[in-house]
Amino acid sequence: MMSRTLINRLIIFAFMVLVGFCLAKAIQIRSFMGVLLALTSLGAGIYFLYLLAKIKYEREREEAV
């Protein structure tokens, strides 16, 4: 059985690949709205990873005390 960490990383990687694909297709067909939505999704994904790292850091800090 796959570990939870590996599954989470695969989901995040798949999301980033799909956002990159959508961004590339939007640029290819010159769709301003597509580019805007793809960049918004990319920003949301990066912000999610930032919050995830922050929560992990806080949890480790609380356990150490």
Residue 65 has what DSSP assignment? Answer: -
User: In terms of pTM, does the model score above 0.95?
Assistant: no
Give the pLDDT of residue 64: 86
Q: Output the CA–CA distances (angstroms, integers) from residue 36 to 3, 7, 33, 49, in the order listed.
A: 35, 29, 5, 20
pLDDT digits (tens, 9 = 90+) for 11-51: 999 999 999 999 999 999 999 999 999 999 999 999 999 99
Q: Residue 26 and residue 32: Cα distance in Å, rounded? A: 7
Contact at 8 Å (CB) between 16 and 39? no
